[in-house]
Amino acid sequence: MTEETHLREEITRFAKSLFDRGLTPGSSGNISARLSDGSLLVTPTGSSMGFLDPAQISHLSEDMTHISGDKPTKEIPLHSAFYDTRKTTGAVVHLHSSHAVALSMLPEIDPQNALPPLTPYGIMRLGKVQLLPFFLPGDVAMGEAVRGLAGKRSAVLLANHGPVVAGRDLEAAVYAMEELEETAKLAIMTRGIDIRALSQSDVQAVVDRFDVDWE
């Protein structure tokens, strides 16, 4: 099995898992992953994550020229911004998961650190999550907003839209995305309750122990 064939199947497998668990409904969400030659495999526009055909996944050159497969997602500028600014990025996952979207609409959320410090894994896998303003779907300004972060964030939350996570590979990106959604769910479930979140010293201990970028 070639690298490309294997990655096409992995994208399809992970996408179906996310869809089957209700983490991105209908034809929402998109995934990209980078091959060793720098080219990208990207889920097609208008496709459902639960019913992908590996052969129809879009193949783009490193300069984003369409090589084969169906037309790629309109969110290509968003994906390419992560690849261009974070050289360790091997995959990008964007979902419309309910709890993360709900969290993005709360007025008290800190735009510089949208996820509250509730669990160590939220910190370990995501670092600080930047809340970006609302953009129309497919707007190239989303990509420019990510570029403006200069590679300092591996995850962002698009206001009223959904989360985007970059990882070193597809598995890491998916697992980090799942952690983001679960932390958002905890934040929504405990909103208005006097809980014991991680203290600043707890957060710092996690950051130091697991070498988390926390700038």
Each residue's pLDDT, cut to its tens digit, for the chain (215 residues) gives 899 999 999 999 999 999 999 999 999 999 999 999 999 999 999 999 999 999 999 999 999 999 999 999 999 999 999 999 999 999 999 999 999 999 999 999 999 999 999 999 999 999 999 999 999 999 999 999 999 999 999 999 999 999 999 999 999 999 999 999 999 999 999 999 999 999 999 999 999 999 998 98
Q: Which pLDDT belongs to residue 215?
A: 82
- Residue tagged active-site, from 4, 9, 62, 75: 75
Q: Which pLDDT belongs to residue 74?
A: 95
Q: In whole angstroms, what is the distance from residue 48 CA to residue 73 CA? A: 11
75 catalytic residue (yes or no): yes
Domains parsed from the chain with CATH numbers: 3-209 (3.40.225.10)
Q: Which pLDDT belongs to residue 133?
A: 97
- Residue tagged active-site, from 4, 121, 175, 182: 121
DSSP annotation string for 28-96: --EEEEE-TTS-EEEPBTT--TTS--GGGSEEE-TT--EEESSPBPTTHHHHHHHHHH-TT--EEEE--
Q: In whole angstroms, what is the distance from residue 154 CA to residue 163 CA? A: 11
* Dihedral pair phi/psi, residue 59, rounded to 5°: -115, 120
Q: Are 48 and 109 in contact (CB under 8 A)?
A: no
121 catalytic residue (yes or no): yes
Q: Which pLDDT belongs to residue 32?
A: 98
